[in-house]
Homo-oligomer: A and B are copies of this chain.
Amino acid sequence: MSTEKLLSASSISLLGFGLCLFLCVHATAGEDGQTVPGAGHLVKKGERQPIISTGFGEVSGVRVSDGNETFNIHLITLEPNSLFLPVMLHQDMVFYVHTGSGNLSYRDENKRENTTIRRGDVFRLGSGSVFFIQSDVGLERQKLRIYAIFGNAGEDLREPTEYGPYSSIRDLVLGFDKKILQETFKVPEEVIEEITSGRKPEAIVRGLPGTQEKTIREREYQFIEAVFGSTSIFSIFETSNKDKKKSKKFNIFQEKPDFENCNGWSTTVTRKKYSVLKGSKYGLFMVNLTRGGMMGPHWNPEATEIAVVLQGKGMVRVVCPSLPNKAECKNARFGVEEGDIFAVQRFHPMAQMAFNNETLVFVGFSTSTENNHPQYLAGKASVLRTLDKHILAASFGINETTFDRLDNGGRD
Contact = CB atoms under 8 A, between A and B. Distances in A.
A386 B183 contact: no
Interface stretch (A168-176, A249-257, A270-278, A354-362): A168-176
17 contacts: A8-B230, A15-B184, A20-B182, A86-B391, A158-B159, A168-B322, A170-B397, A185-B382, A188-B409, A195-B402, A198-B398, A198-B402, A200-B397, A220-B391, A223-B388, A226-B386, A229-B375
Given A180-B294, A183-B21, A301-B127, A349 B175 contact: yes
Nearest to A401: B194
Contacts of A23: 179
Given A177-B24, A223-B386, A391-B208, A171 B319 contact: yes
A118 B179 CA distance: 39
Contacts of A186: 409-410, 412
A302 interface: yes
Given A384-B187, A410-B186, A170 B396 contact: yes
A329 B51 contact: no
Contacts of A17: 183
Contact of A233 (B375, B378, B384, B405): B375
A409 B187 contact: yes
A406 to B, nearest CB: 5
Given A162-B329, A195-B396, A225 B386 contact: yes
Contact of A172 (B198, B299, B302, B385): B299
A294 B174 CA distance: 17
Contact of A324 (B87, B302, B333, B394): B87
B173 A383 contact: yes
A321 interface: yes
A373 B231 contact: yes
